Amino acid sequence: MIRFENVGMRYGPGPEVLRDVTFQLEPGTFTFLTGPSGAGKSTLLKLLYLAEPPSRGLITIFGTDLATARRSAFPALRRRIGVVFQDFRLLSHLSAFDNVALPLRLAGRKPEDYAHDVEELLNWVGLGDRMNAKPPTLSGGEQQRVAIARAVVGQPDLLLADEPTGNVDPEIAQRLIRLFGELNRLGTTVLIATHDRSLIERARAREMRLVDGRLVELRRA
Amino acid sequence: MSEKERVRGRILPREKGAAPLDVVIGVMAFLAALALGASMLANRQAEGWREGLSGRLTVQILQPDHPTAKRDMQTETKAALDILRDTPGILTITEMSDADAAKLVEPWLGTDALVKDLPLPRLIDATIEPGAHVNFAELQTRLQTVAPDSNVDDHTRWIARLQGLANTIIYAAYAVLLLIALATAAAVSFATRAGLEAHHDIVALLHQMGAHSGFIARAFEWHYLVSTFAASAVGAGFAAVTFLLAGGLEFAGVEAVPFLPPLGLNPQELAWLLAVPVVSGLIAWVTARLSVLAALREIY
């Protein structure tokens, strides 16, 4: 369903950040993406969530070849992808509730349809009493949980997370990983970029490592 | 906060520092409404001139050049009056006396006894039935058979000149309206671009989450439609008050601007000023939409 073939990426005239990256993500799999800082993890995620076009190579997302697809097809592809950004990217003028509900609003769902789902999810991530709080009044960990709730609320086909447990204590981190696992069991393909070795060891999932812009398969699930 | 309020958070935050744009748009709407009002006044005035002059004609019977010419002005005038009476479409006929003719030249020549010796023409004033068609050329020919030195003045020359003046005012007002529309579009386009720049992170996030360009554009166009409509309504409101005051001054017997026609607008004309906020709101709506869509096309 997700295929990268000899993908290379450079920003402007700079050096290649990703080189000859080739891999495939089968539907319903759980994968960790690891590697030192600057190895190109965030760039690889950007290509996956269609934020940038590759400099070369072939990317196929949900069976659609991005090089030949019409741009008008991109919004529908993007809506099937949930992203937890490293810097959260919450809308500071909206409440936690509205931030989480955003993907459902974009999908055209009515508030009366989704209000219950959003509240339930916010309760699950431990923010039941902070629903009306605006992001600037939330702690880093709370913001991260809102960002995760927003990424999973629409039950996306692909979930991408960039260091999703970086700002939370181990107990919450485990709870969040359980949430990702639950989503994965329901059929979502999950790819998590992280440094957290303990998380990777406990989950015992496939691990892909980026070193100097090249992809090394470390462990198959 | 009720559930209803909680789930209706605006996609775009309320703009801060947009007041200068509102002031610019309000002032432009004020000027646009003044121009629109001026064009309506000019139109109404031209209509008045046309109605005042087009329903009448004047026949002049000149004294013969040679005093020895054997012609009798009295007989010629009587014959001309008969022809006019027989002409279909003529409503009333008034022969002006010598005293009336002398009165007409009095402002230029005074009341000196010499004036009485001047060869003043005989004048016949006639009104035409509304809607009736009188063939002036044919009438002139018939009149000249009984009074060789007569001519018919249907005031066409004057009407054409006044009409030209009114048209100049009307077209100048339209040109001003067009310029103001262009300036409004430019100002809104500039503000939308600035707004996009200020909200770049929000736009990028919505785009990233799969929002269609139309969804993002709607958030902006609605904002600019409402704020431009409100600012223009205030500007047009001030213009309406200006026209009402001008009308009030005339009603009170004070001439607002000497030599100019009445400056008050009637209620129907005042209602037309509502078009200013509606049209500027639409201009803002279209401009904002096009600006946002153009900016989004530049993102992958």
Q: Where are the beta strands (DSSP E) in chain A?
A: 2-10, 16-25, 30-34, 56-61, 64-65, 81-84, 158-162, 189-193, 206-211, 214-219
Between B117 and A24, name the one with better pLDDT.
A24
Percent pLDDT > 70 in chain A is 98
- Nearest alpha-carbon partner for A35 in A23, A18, A60: A18
Task: Decide: helix, strand or coil at residue A25.
Answer: strand
Q: How far apart are the first and last CA of chain A?
A: 17
* Structure tokens that stand for B23 in this block: 């002031």
- Nearest alpha-carbon partner for B54 in B161, B135, B156: B156
Residue B4 has pLDDT above 50, yes or no: no
Residue type, B124: I
What topology is assigned to B55-154 in CATH?
Alpha-Beta Plaits (3.30.70)
Q: Which helix (H) or strand (E) holds B153?
A: strand B150-153
| Distance between CA atoms of residues A35 and A71, nearest Å | 32
Q: Do A115 and B3 touch (CB under 8 A)?
A: yes
Lowest-pLDDT range of A58-67, A76-85, B11-20: B11-20
Residue A2 has pLDDT above 50, yes or no: yes
Give the best residue of B4, B6, B216, B223 to mutate against chain A (max A CB count within 10 A): B6
In terms of Cβ atoms closer than 10 Å to its own Cβ (0-12, 13-18, 19+), residue A160 is buried
* Structure tokens that stand for A166 in this block: 């970086």
- Nearest alpha-carbon partner for A105 in A154, A147, A64: A154
List of chain B residues whose C-beta atoms are within 8 Å of the C-beta of residue A111 = 3-4, 7-8
Q: Provide the ipTM.
A: 0.89
Between B263 and B66, name the one with better pLDDT.
B263
Could you tell me the CA-to-CA distances from B26 to A37, A92, B108, B228 in Å, in that order? Answer: 53, 31, 51, 8
Nearest chain A alpha carbon to B210: A75
Band the pLDDT of B2: cuts 50, 70, 90.
Answer: very low
Q: Where do the structural domains in chain B lie, given as residue ranges? A: 3-42+171-299, 55-154
Q: Do B206 and A106 touch (CB under 8 A)?
A: yes
pLDDT for the residue A24: 94
Residue A188 has pLDDT above 80, yes or no: yes
Q: Which helix (H) or strand (E) holds B85?
A: helix B73-86
Residues of A with CB under 8 A from a CB of B: 49-53, 74-81, 83, 89, 91-95, 97-98, 101-103, 106, 111, 114-115, 131-132
As a whole number, the mean pLDDT across chain B is 82
Band the pLDDT of A83: cuts 50, 70, 90.
Answer: very high
CA B105 to chain centre: 34
| Distance between CA atoms of residues B133 and B139, nearest Å | 12
Nearest chain B alpha carbon to A77: B210
Please name the residues in contact with B260: beta carbons below 8 A apart, sequence gap of 6 or more.
none
* Structure tokens that stand for A3 in this block: 């295929």
User: How many other CB atoms are found less than 10 A from the CB of residue B97?
Assistant: 11
pLDDT for the residue A190: 95
Please name the residues in contact with A194: beta carbons below 8 A apart, sequence gap of 6 or more.
A32, A33, A34, A161, A163, A164, A165, A166, A200
List of chain A residues whose C-beta atoms are within 8 Å of the C-beta of residue B300 = 50-53
| Distance between CA atoms of residues B192 and B219, nearest Å | 11
Residue B188 has pLDDT above 80, yes or no: no
| Distance between CA atoms of residues B103 and B224, nearest Å | 64
Highest-pLDDT range among B16-30, B242-256, B265-279: B265-279
Residue B230 has pLDDT above 50, yes or no: yes
The predicted model gives A18-44 an average pLDDT of 93
Q: Do B13 and A93 touch (CB under 8 A)?
A: yes
pLDDT for the residue B3: 46
pLDDT tens digits along A118-177: 999 999 888 999 999 999 999 988 998 999 999 999 999 999 999 888 777 888 788 788
Give the best residue of B4, B7, B15, B199 to mutate against chain A (max A CB count within 10 A): B7
pLDDT for the residue B7: 46
pLDDT tens digits along B120-161: 888 898 888 877 788 888 888 988 888 888 888 887 777 788
pLDDT tens digits along A42-64: 999 999 999 999 999 999 999 99
Could you tell me the CA-to-CA distances from A27 to A47, A50, A185, A208, B167 in Å, in that order? Answer: 18, 18, 11, 16, 73
Between B274 and B54, name the one with better pLDDT.
B274
